[in-house]
Structure 1
Amino acid sequence: MKVGCIGLGDIAQKAYLPVLSARPGLELHLQTRTPATLEQVAARHHVPADRCHTDLDALLAAGLDAAFVHAPTAVHPEIVARLLDAGVPTYVDKPLAYDYADSRRLVERAEERGVSLAVGFNRRHAPGYAQCAEHPRELIVMQKNRVGLPEDPRTFVLDDFIHVVDTLRFLLPGDADHIDVRAVVRDGLMHQVVLQMSGPGFTALGLMNRLSGSTEEILEVSGQDTKRQVLNLSEIVDHKGQPSVRRRGDWTPVARQRGIEQVVDHFLEAVALGKTLSARDALLTHDLCERVVLTALEQAL
């Protein structure tokens, strides 16, 4: 299977290329516009020169069976559209695009052409979070905080808070009939945001503070007098009377703990089986993110 990796930045190098380069039966092709980066990354992963490309045309000419897109979000619409038009099953790092209209057009384009389109919501596959889906979930609380990083609201939400939004959607035990957003935006920069979703018998809260003093990710689900916490995706604490702690095994790869291995394998297995994946559910997450952005901007006026 010929698999292209487009964009060789931090997330590709840290998370995806170590997984892809270890998968048997893959002919890995790399593409970036920066020759020095291309040479360094290819040497690290033993990719021969004839599988290294500095433009998308050359990569497509290789006859790809699948592609992973890790280029900057601003160029996702152009790159993904070209891949879909070429009939290449495509996995794109979240988000699909900064603007909801662009994201919708890409999903519709994939459906019109009958081509797989998948969005990289790896937390749905992370063991700790997947196990929370099996726990009573009357109350769901997730916070993902940063240090000294206020940002433009759209970038804040679509590049980072989107993980919180999608994880809450994944864990909701039913349809939410009430959604509320509260945000703090000062001088055009978002400092914090709170998303609340509720329905019959459940409430979900998503929080992000970019001036929290700590970089952390904490998920809690509780119900029926029990609670499960997942700390930074690596430690699970079950509470029922006395707490019980389970930590990531010393030899468990970070990519597996964060669901990267599993989401890559899920996508590649679908390609191998000729199964068409839809990004229609991922589009619902983008829709909700658009609502968060617009509400935050209204509150800042």
Structure 2
Amino acid sequence: MKIGIIGLGAIARKAYLPVLTAQPGLEPHLVTRDARVLGELGDAYRVPPAHRHATIEGLLDARPDAAFVHAATPAHPRLVGRLLDARVPTYVDKPLARHLADAETLVDSAESAGIPLAVGFNRRHAPCYTQCLEHPRDLIVLQKHRVGLPESPRHMILDDFIHVVDTLRFLAPAPHDQVTVHARVRDGLLHHLVLQLAGDGFTALGVMNRLSGSAEEILEVSGQDTKREVRDLAEVVDHKGQPSVRRRGDWVPVARQRGIEQAVLGFLDAVRAGRPLSARDALLTHELCERVIRAVEEQSV
């Protein structure tokens, strides 16, 4: 199975290349315009020179069975669009596009042509988070903080806060019918953001502080006088009387802990089996992010 890996930056190196190059039966094809990076990673992962490409056209000439797009977000519409035109099943890092209209075009194109398209929301596959689906969830609170990193609202929300938005949607026990946004914007930069979703019997809060002093991710789901806390997708504390702590095993790979391995293998299994795979639900997350962006921009005027 020939697999194109387009864009060889930090996320590809840390998360995807170690998983994809370890799978039996896959023939990786690397794509980047940076000749030095292409050579270094091609050598490191023993990818033959004939399977290293400077352009997406070079990859398409090799007739890949599927492709993973890890390039910068502004390049997503062009790259994903080109792959879909060539009828190549595609997995793309979030966000699908920087603007909602582009994301809608890509999803519509994939569905009308019957081509699998997946967006990399890995937290939907992270074991610590999927286990929370078994827990009562009257109240969901997800905090994802960073250090010294205020950014423009659109960039921050679509490149980082989108994980919070999608995870709240994933864990919500029912559809939400209320959306509330609070933000602090100074000199055009978003410092912190709070999103509240509410629906029948539940409230979900997403909080991000980009001047937190600590990089951390804390999820709490509670209901029926019990609470489950997940810290940095690795440690689970169940609260019901005496707290019970479970930690990630010493030998569990980070990609598996964070759900990346499961997302990759699920996509590849669907492609091999010829199963339909739509990004329509991922588009709902993009639509909600666009709503959050508008609310933040209105508050910052």
Q: TM-score range by the shorter chain?
A: over 0.9
Distance 1:133 1:98 in 2: 30
Does structure 1 residue 262 correspond to structure 2 residue 262? yes
Deviation at 1:45, TM superposition (A): 0.8
Distance 1:289 1:298 in 2: 14
**Alignment match, 1:218:** 218
5 Å-filtered alignment, 1:112-191, equals 112-191=112-191
**Alignment match, 1:4:** 4
One-letter amino acid of the structure 2 residue matched with residue 191 of structure 1: H
Q: Report the RMSD for the aligned CA atoms in angstroms.
A: 0.5
Distance 2:200 2:273 in 1: 39
**Alignment match, 1:90:** 90
**Alignment match, 2:109:** 109
Alignment coverage as a number of residue pairs: 301
Distance 1:186 1:106 in 2: 34
Q: Deviations over 1:51-90 (max 9, x none)?
A: 0000110000100100000000000000000000100000
- Secondary structure of the 2:228 match is strand
Deviation at 1:215, TM superposition (A): 0.3
Distance 2:267 2:116 in 1: 9
Q: Deviations over 1:207-266 (max 9, x none)?
A: 000001110000000000110010000000000001000001000000000001100000
Q: Deviations over 1:90-115 (max 9, x none)?
A: 00000001101110110001011110
- Secondary structure of the 1:242 match is coil
> Where in structure 1 are there 5+ consecutive unaligned residues?
none
**Alignment match, 2:285:** 285
**Alignment match, 1:238:** 238
One-letter amino acid of the structure 2 residue matched with residue 109 of structure 1: S
One-letter amino acid of the structure 1 residue matched with residue 76 of structure 2: H
One-letter amino acid of the structure 1 residue matched with residue 285 of structure 2: T
**Alignment match, 2:74:** 74
**Alignment match, 1:23:** 23
Deviation at 1:276, TM superposition (A): 2.0
Distance 1:36 1:252 in 2: 32
Distance 2:107 2:190 in 1: 28
**Alignment match, 1:272:** 272
With normalisation by structure 1, the TM-score equals 0.99
Distance 2:42 2:227 in 1: 45
Deviation at 1:134, TM superposition (A): 1.0
Does structure 1 residue 34 correspond to structure 2 residue 23? no
Distance 2:19 2:129 in 1: 20
Distance 1:14 1:178 in 2: 37
Distance 1:182 1:44 in 2: 46
One-letter amino acid of the structure 2 residue matched with residue 150 of structure 1: P
Identity of aligned residues (%): 67
- Secondary structure of the 1:144 match is strand
With normalisation by structure 2, the TM-score equals 0.99
**Alignment match, 1:299:** 299
**Alignment match, 1:247:** 247
- Secondary structure of the 1:177 match is strand
Distance 1:279 1:222 in 2: 29
Q: Deviations over 1:100-137 (max 9, x none)?
A: 11101100010111100000000000000000111100
Does structure 1 residue 54 correspond to structure 2 residue 61? no
Q: Deviations over 1:159-183 (max 9, x none)?
A: 0000000000000000111110111
